[in-house]
A and B are shown apart, each in its own frame.
Chain A
Amino acid sequence: MTRQSTVLIVEDHADVARALGALIDDQVDMRVVGTAGSVAESISLAGDLKPDVVLMDYRLPDGTGDHAGATIKQNRPSTRLIFVTREESSGVREAAWKAGAFELVPKSRVASDLLGAIRRAVA
């Protein structure tokens, strides 16, 4: 059996975080190792858990996902960042790419696109 990819979910909305977790845990090739609800928590958990992939929400209670992602990439450059965001403005996309995003998945297409994005990230 191939090794499962590990995923850290950064999402402040509990319903969405729970749904994301359930969707990923249904898959045989990936599993959720942790869920963070803020920028600070995501940096801390990423350092502890060293996930393969971080699913990053953009708007968080204590800041924005690009700052969290940039720090995580800096601490551990092999971490893949996938931004899952409802914002689709060019400013947000630019900030995400600058922070080292592997891919951007709009929330409206999560159900169909997310799992493929995770698999591409760890391939």
Chain B
Amino acid sequence: MATESRSDPTTLHDTIGRLQAAVDALNATADAAAVAACAAREALAITRSDRAAVAFGNQAGEFERVVSASPGGEPLGDDEAAALFSAAGLDRRGRRQTHLPGAMGAELRASGQVIGIMAVARLTAYTELERDALGLFATAVATALDLAGLRQRQREFESALIEMRGRLEQHEAQKNQAAERVRTVERVERAHEQAVEVLTAVSSLAVSGQTLADFYERLGRTVGELVGAGKVLFWRLQDGNMLTPLPRGYGVSASFMSRLGPMRCDPEGDDLGSRVVFKDMLFRANQSDQPSEFAYVLQRLGVTNAMSVPWRAGQERLGLLAAYDAVRPGGFTREDTWVLQKAGLAAALVTRLWHAQEDLRKSVERLTKVDAARQMLLKNMTTVVDKERKRFVAELHDDALQKLTAVEMGLARLVPGAPVDEAALDLLTSLLQQTENALRRLVFEVHPPSLDSPEGLGASIRDRLAMLSASNIEHGLEIDVPEDLPLEMKSLLFRQVSEAIGNVERHSRARRVKVTLSQLDGGIRGVIDDDGQGFVVAERSNLPGHLGLQALKERALMAGGKYNIESKPGSGTRVEFWIPLDS
């Protein structure tokens, strides 16, 4: 039986071909399990067996992984596999036992170690050739299995390396994150400290300068040093929403200023200036920005860095505060913008404070003047009222009462029963008419009857002007005052105008007089122009009519207003006064 096929060249050739194909199949496998499965299948083919099994994976002294094959494709049960190995003279610990003719096995050896076993069985006994072929195949399987193990270990090593690198990177990232957090906290703290410094600077600068311009200049310098800016500039929102750079900016040269012109702004505008001023945008651009959205702004200004923040107090938009050309590497940071923003807010508060103080100072000044005028009048014991009463009485005496005396004497001449002297009667009638006119005039000047009506001031002045017709003086009136003026105000304005008209009437020899009343600076301005003979203002106190103009002046000062008179001999007179509406 053993000699039967040994010398059969066909059988040998076939066996070598099958062996070759089996080794090729082995080479195409990826891992140990695939090697074992392929080995079982190919062993079946090489040895024409009914069953085949491969055990490998030396752990705890036993090959615990078993792969089997049969011609029908069904794997063997665990017991069948164990029986097969046993029949082939192998046990799963690799020890060789006595083998039977219908079964054969081979140890899988690599690097001098048994790394597995393999067995086949069939009903008939195996030839020598078949035994040799299995032995050869076992060598190839062992090599493939060993290689697969090596590959597996390499893969495990690689994944361990990858995992290790991942962990390393994660660790590095965490470390960076922590460092970044520390840096952020430091930056915020620094920004906070700088903001406090700005506020401290503002509070001390606010009271040290002589003018607001001084304050802006000093604050500009402080802010420039804090945010590391080469230039700091206040842009003020002027009339007509024109944004205009203020002079004396920090680090700003005349040539830089000459490049900047006023820019129009608009509460609804979407240009940069409008958005900063009206929409509270915080603007920041550095030349190194990628992408550089605002490169055109930097180019237009001719700077490498720029930032600007609103300059506002409450709802009052004063303009914007800008810093240019960072001196620190990396340009302006977000925190720098915050510091600048605080400076903008603080500066606006100071601006407001300053304006409020200025208003207060003006009020105090005016009140002081009024008070001085009142004190002066009290001291002289001749109040305007006293003087006016005297003038009223004097006019009564000089004219109306004299005429009445004349009338009385005329009446005394009329002897009862005597013929009526027509000429004497005419004279008396005329005298009485003149007396009535004079009395009406006096009463009118004290309080014109139409003054109480809404348009009473204009009507009263017109009535007073109409009386000039008797003196052949042409007259004109321009009046633009609120209709709801209080009666005291209308009365005061009327007496001022009437006083000036009376002066023109009595002393000027004018042919024409013009009265203008208009609103100005929260008050009413009155101007009375005539084309009369005029006079030297300094000599006025010795001239007729002095008392009337003196009263006009005192009334204006008492009401907290102003008074001025311009005249030259031969070129008319202009009397001007202003009375505040809240007096």
- Specify whether A and B are partners: yes
Q: Could you list which residues of chain A lie within 8 angstroms of chain B, going by C-beta atoms?
A: 13, 15-16, 18-20, 22-23, 26, 86, 107-108, 110-112, 114
Contact (Cβ within 8 A) A15 B403:
yes
Give the tally of cross-chain contacts (CB within 8 A). Answer: 46
Dominant SS among interface residues on chain B: helix
- Size of interface on B: residues with Cβ below 8 Å to A: 17
Binds A, one of B252-260, B409-417, B546-554, B561-569: B409-417
Which of A18, A86, A114 is close to B406, meaning CB atoms less than 8 Å apart?
A18
Nearest 10 A/B pairs, CB to CB = A19-B406, A111-B412, A19-B409, A15-B406, A111-B408, A13-B402, A23-B409, A107-B405, A16-B406, A111-B409
Contact B424 A22 (CB under 8 A): yes
Chain B nearest CB: distance from A113 CB in Å?
10
**A20 vs B402: C-alpha distance when bound (angstroms):** 12
- Select from chain A the residue with minimum beta-carbon distance to B405: A107
Asked whether B397 is an interface residue with its Cβ less than 8 Å from the other chain, the reply is yes
A20 B397 Cβ-Cβ under 8 A: no
B residues in contact (CB < 8 Å) with A: 397-398, 401-403, 405-413, 424, 427, 431
- A54 and B409 CA atoms in complex are apart in Å by 18
Residues of B contacting A86 in the complex (Cβ-Cβ under 8 angstroms):
397, 401-402, 405
| Complex contact B412–A23 (CB within 8 A) | yes
CB distance from B92 to the nearest CB of A (A): 159
Q: How many whole Å from B284's CB to the nearest CB in chain A?
A: 86
Chain B residues whose CB sits within 8 angstroms of the CB of A108 once the complex forms: 405
* A22 and B410 form a contact (CB under 8 A): yes
What is the CA–CA distance of A102 and B403 in the complex, to the nearest angstrom?
26
Q: Are B412 and A112 in contact (CB under 8 A)?
A: yes
> B410, A110: Cβ atoms under 8 Å?
no
Among residues of B, the one whose C-beta sits closest to the C-beta of A84 is B405
| Complex contact A110–B408 (CB within 8 A) | yes
**Most chain A beta carbons < 10 A, residue from B405, B410, B412:** B405
Query: Is there contact, CB below 8 Å, between A111 and B402?
Result: no
Interface contacts beyond A22-B424, A86-B401: sample of 8 additional A-B pairs, CB < 8 Å, sorted by A: A15-B402, A15-B431, A16-B403, A16-B405, A20-B409, A86-B405, A107-B405, A110-B405
Chain B residue contacts of A22, Cβ below 8 A: 409-410, 413, 424
| Residues of chain A with a CB closer than 8 A to B402's CB | 13, 15-16, 86, 107
13 cross-chain CB contacts under 8 A? A13-B402, A15-B406, A15-B431, A16-B402, A16-B406, A19-B406, A19-B407, A19-B409, A19-B410, A22-B409, A86-B405, A110-B409, A112-B412
